[in-house]
Structures are given as C-alpha cells and as structure tokens.
Amino acid sequence: MTTTSAVESEFFTAGDPIADTRAPQGPIKDRWDTHRFEEELVNPANRRKRSVIIVGTGLAGGAAAATLGEAGYQVKNFCYQDSPRRAHSIAAQGGINAAKNYRNDGDSIHRLFYDTVKGGDYRARESNVYRLAQVSVEIIDQCVAQGVPFAREYGGLLDNRSFGGVQVSRTFYARGQTGQQLLLGAYQALERQVQAGTVQVYSRHEMLDLVLIEGRARGVIVRDMITGEIQTHMADAVVLGTGGYGNVFFLSTNAMGSNVTATWRAHRKGAYFGNPCYTQIHPTCIPVAGEHQSKLTLMSESLRNDGRIWVPKEPGDERPPQDIPEGERDYYLERQYPAFGNLVPRDVASRAAKYVCDEGRGVGPKVDGVSRGVYLDFSDAIARLGRKAVEAKYDNLFDMYEQITGEDPYVQPMRIYPAVHYTMGGLWVDYDLQSTIPGLFVIGEANFSDHGANRLGASALMQGLADGYFVLPPTLSAYLAGAPFEEADAEHPEARAAAAEVTERVQRLLSINGERTVDSFHRELGHIMWEYCGMERTAEGLTKAIGLIRALREEFWRNVKVTGTNEELNQTLEKAGRVADFLELGELMCIDALHREESCGGHFRAESQTDDGEALRDDENFAYVAAWEFTGNEGKPVLHKEALEYEYVEMKQRSYK
C-alpha cells in the first residue's frame, strides 16, 4: 500500500491549514440567526448601485438571481443553454427534503441535521448542515407560494415519501418531476425580475474565465456560443451556480452539456477545490447497454419506496425473472440491512449491487462478458396497492423506462445498476459561501459545503434552493456593504489580459488539427476514471490512473481535431474546452482519492474496509476537508486541511443494519 508520505512527495505538497473564519460560535440552533443579525446590511437605495454576476440558471443560480433582483441589485445571469428552463436541475425526479414533520413520525430539524451528517459519513461541517436543515422548512413555504404543484394526501395537506438513509417521511414531491416543477417556480420568479429590469439573462453564453482585480472577483469572460464573440462582463461580485462535474466520467446521469469549466477556471485563478474525490454513484439507473452510449438515465430513488431489489441466488441464472421462484431470489438489501432495507443510502446500495454482479449474479444482457444489472421489482406493490395507485406515483418514470428499454415495468421488473450522478466535492467556501477568492461566491452543487462524503437522496434540491433563496442573499449583501470597490470595466488591464488568454486558448484548440475526435478523448478519460476512481479505488489503480491521464492530456493538446471556426455555432469547440478542463480535474480527483487512505461515503478504498465489506473511516488521520490549491500545470497541487470538529453529533461507524 502506498504511504501518505510517498504520495505527498510524488503528487502534491502540504500547505498551511485552512479555517472557516466566518463560522459562527454559540449554540448551533442560534448560529444562523445570530450570524444574519451581525452581518452588515445594504440599504435599498444603495442596492441599485451594486451589481452581481451569477453564472448558472438552475435552482441555485436562478433562485439567487431572482432573489437578488427582487432585493434591488443589478444582476446579470448567464447560462450556456438556450433557456434558463433547460438547466440540469430540471432533470431531478424524486423530491426535496424538509423537516416539516407533517407525518408526525418523529422528524425534526435536529433529525434532518443528524441524518445528513451521518449520511455524509461525518465529513461535513456541523454548522452548515444545521443551517440547511433549518432553512429547509422555509423552502417548502416559498415554493408553495410560487404555485409549485406538490403532491397532496387525501386531506389536502402536502404528501411526503421516504428516501434512502432515513427512517421518516420528509420528502416532498411532484410525481417524478420535482426538479422540473421547482425550476419552473424559480424561473417564474426570475422572469418577473427580468420584466422589472433588475435582471438581464444571457442565454447561450459560456463562462470561460474569471476576472480578478486587486485580488477580488470582479467579472467573467464569456463566449457567445452563436457568434463566437468573446465578451467581458464586470460587476461588484461573481456567483457560480454551475452544478457538478460528474461528466468527467463521460457516462453519467448529468446532461450532456454539464461541465466543470466555470469552477475549474476559478480554481486556476486561486479558488481552492474541496474534496474533489467525493463523487456519488446512484444505485438506480438504467444499465449501460454498450460502447455506443454517451448518456445514462436515472431512475428516481423514490422507486425504492415500493420497488424491491433482488438478484437470483445462484450465479449464472439466466431465466426470465417471472420464472424464478421466490425462494430462489436474494433480496440482498433487505437481507443485509434489515433496519433500512431497500432504503439504505446511495453509496451502500451501489456497492452492494456491484458486489452481487461481481459474484456473477447480475441480470440482463452481458456487456464485456458481464451482466451489470439487478432487478427493481414492483409486483408486490402492484398486488398490495393496485396498479392505479402505482401509476399515480410513478407513471412518468415507468413510461420513460419503457421507452428506453422496450420493457414494461408493470409486467416485469426494471433492471437497474449504479451510475455517476452527483459530486459532493466542489469549490471550497466558508460559512458565507465565499470562496478563497474575495467576491467569488459558490452555491449549490458547485460548492463542497453540505453533504460530506455522500449526499442523501432529495437533498440536492434542498441545498440548491437554500443557497439561492435564503443563504446567499444576506451573506452576499454583507460583502457588498464594503463597496464601492475600484472602478473597473472591460478595458481594465486585468480584464483585457483575461480576455486575451481566452482568445489564445480558443485559437490554440482550433489550430492543433490532429487526428482524434474530442469525444474519443472524453470517452477514454471516462473509462480511466470509472475503472480506477469509481465505486472502488486502490492505491495501485489510482497511481496508474494518474499516469494514464497525464499521458492522455499530453496527447490531447497534440492530437485533438477541432473542426470549424470560432465565429460560428461550434459544438466541437465547446466540448474541446470542457474536456481539456476535465483532463486536469480528473488528475486532481485521483490525487485526492490516493492521498485519502480511508473509506468514507462514496469514497471507497479497498484497503480500508470492515470485515463485512463496509466503508472503514480513519477519523484520527482524515477527519478534515481537503482543500486543494492550483499551482500551475507543471506544479504539484498544494493540500490545505480544514479540521472537522463535532459537538452535537457523535462520530461513529455508520450502520444501517
């Protein structure tokens, strides 16, 4: 096994510790209210003089733009999609968590806080998670007021269902399209501010760099994706709400355009990257069908409320599922984790599926000689509740599955297998959601702050809307209370230099004129990442992956072929820039995973597991946030550690048995 000192000497440099200097003290339940009271304010007349750039129009970015516009700030909101409504938040299916306790089943703010810290395997900050749980109850009221059509139970109250890693029902939902309905609510609020003149939306514009002036984030360089024009936009502060980086694996449930470029460009300018190796593998996705695929499809975790997961007891059993008797089926999650059953957290369910398939008990067509699938069976639910009741909950999900696979899940079980879905890592931020670059705030999945090493289901929508509607507005206002800053426009020397760098990079990509397509490099990178930095990781495999990625990156800049020109709609050019950043990110992810010689949540090191194959943490040596500093393509990244301390939750080995 590679030792920490050997990894450090070869791949990174140890830097000074980092601390969240904005984190409040005192009783945890009072920290957020006290912090808001102590923050400086900007009066309404002065807000009109302050400007903010927000990159991203999903639940975090769209909610932030609408809220700050409503407050009176001048906001520019950018997205690479043709409409803010096409942000990837729209793809979320299952629901949003909130500690309302409508079911009177023992839920509370403290229980949501505890479940989230435990679900993240004790690798998140207590103060941030408690604030998230507090704000959750306000999110539902906000969204209901906007007209979001949450499901309701027979008495007219909002309905709830369960998600993985909890034993209460706290997930609010709108059939299997919760993200879509929440995004439409945020979009309506955003468009209201567009009409009012406080927000300008720039669709089909991709951020390609960050502008720093006197060390502060003051603007962005964007490319008009229709004309190719490189534009400079300036403001008093910049907010990134650009989502996660799961597409570094090539195959994921993310939208094809989802990328890391905005956050990675900020990282290269000085924003530390927190816990990049913490990636989430979702257990309920449609299995890979072959090398022709470029996208995977999520099947909502909500399906695990009523669906039962099983495989044949004997390896190599290729009989149709309806021909396998009950006694010859292994409901392995119910057997291994009787307290939570099919609703164990995502990392636990995903590894369990991998293990049974590794044993030769997987189902479905073979890909590369192995069946990578398990059954998600609704026959019991249909018998117990009736088909109409199941249709009322899940019909759009069942229809989507049938259209993709040609199989009717009402008649035969779904086939599912884990796939990359979410990234808990992201740019490091303090309690105010400000990065290590003053004036650069990071919200939603783009930051690292709330989920530790594993996110619980239905918590992504909760965090995105919490950050956008309720957390960022007061903390960003406190920063803007220190304005006015130095006058700066697109002609400022730093802005001109940043624009010139972007132009040079675009021209360099176009001039290589090699022999390999951008997609071939992306697919190869994805294979490396999935094989060596996926569900199970080893020191040997990660070391090999770093070498492979470095060689692939060198070949990319020598042999990639980018067709067309800059002065047109050029999707190959767009992809090339994104893949170039993925190639740098992938190396850092592997270095982070290699240095963290423990297992926690979604980061599973084969060398660190219990006797029964569960993740084995090393709290003595690794109870910290890894915040990585960029030092140049030829320099080693610098590791800064933020110690994690727990006052209100006892750190112990997770158990869902």
What is the rounded distance in angstroms from the CA atom of residue 535 to the CA atom of residue 249?
A: 12
Sign of CA dihedral 644, 648, 649, 650: positive
Q: What angle do CA 460, 465, 466 make, to 5 degrees?
A: 95
What is the rounded distance in angstroms from the CA atom of residue 206 to the CA atom of residue 226?
A: 11
Q: What DSSP state is assigned to residue 152?
A: B
What is the rounded distance in angstroms from the CA atom of residue 195 to the CA atom of residue 585?
A: 39
Q: What are the start-end ranges of the E strands in 225-323?
A: 230-234, 237-240, 273-274, 279-285, 308-312
Q: What angle do CA 28, 33, 39 make, to 5 degrees?
A: 120
Locus of tokens 């109870």: 623
CB 385 within 8 A of CB 414: no
What is the rounded distance in angstroms from the CA atom of residue 373 to the CA atom of residue 367?
A: 10
What is the rounded distance in angstroms from the CA atom of residue 468 to the CA atom of residue 44?
A: 19
What is the rounded distance in angstroms from the CA atom of residue 11 to the CA atom of residue 5?
A: 10
Locus of tokens 């409409």: 83
Instruction: List CB contacts of 229: < 8 A, sequence separation 6 or more.
Output: 223
CB 172 within 8 A of CB 165: no
CA distances from 163 to 148, 248, 345, 484, 487 (A): 20, 27, 8, 46, 50
State the DSSP H helix or E strand holding residue 396, giving kind and residue range, or none if neither: helix 387-405
Residue 540 dihedral angles phi and psi, to the nearest 5°: -65, -45
What is the rounded distance in angstroms from the CA atom of residue 174 to the CA atom of residue 281?
A: 24
- Nearest residue to 241 (alpha-carbon basis) of 455, 469, 24: 469
Q: What DSSP state is assigned to residue 447?
A: B
Measure the N-to-C terminal CA separation of the chain; round to a whole number of Å: 30
> Annotated catalytic residue: which of 111, 216, 346, 553?
346
Q: Please say if 319 is a catalytic residue.
A: no
What is the rounded distance in angstroms from the CA atom of residue 583 to the CA atom of residue 600?
A: 25
What is the rounded distance in angstroms from the CA atom of residue 592 to the CA atom of residue 301?
A: 28
Residue 646 tokens read as 């727990």
What is the rounded distance in angstroms from the CA atom of residue 416 to the CA atom of residue 413?
A: 9
- Environment class of 173 (CB within 10 Å of its CB; exposed 0-12, middle 13-18, buried 19+): buried
> In sequence order, which ranges of 87-231 are alpha helices (DSSP H)?
109-119, 126-146, 178-196
Other CB atoms within a 10 A radius of the CB of residue 624 amount to 19
What is the rounded distance in angstroms from the CA atom of residue 88 to the CA atom of residue 113?
A: 26
Residue 239 tokens read as 């907010």
Kindly write down the DSSP assignment for every residue of 262-320, as one continuous string: HHHHHHHTT--EE-TT-EEEEEEEPPP--TT-----B--GGGGGT-EEEEESSTT--S-
What is the rounded distance in angstroms from the CA atom of residue 86 to the CA atom of residue 291?
A: 27
Do the strands 199-202 and 96-97 form a parallel or antiparallel pair, or are they unpaired? unpaired
Please list the active-site residues: 346
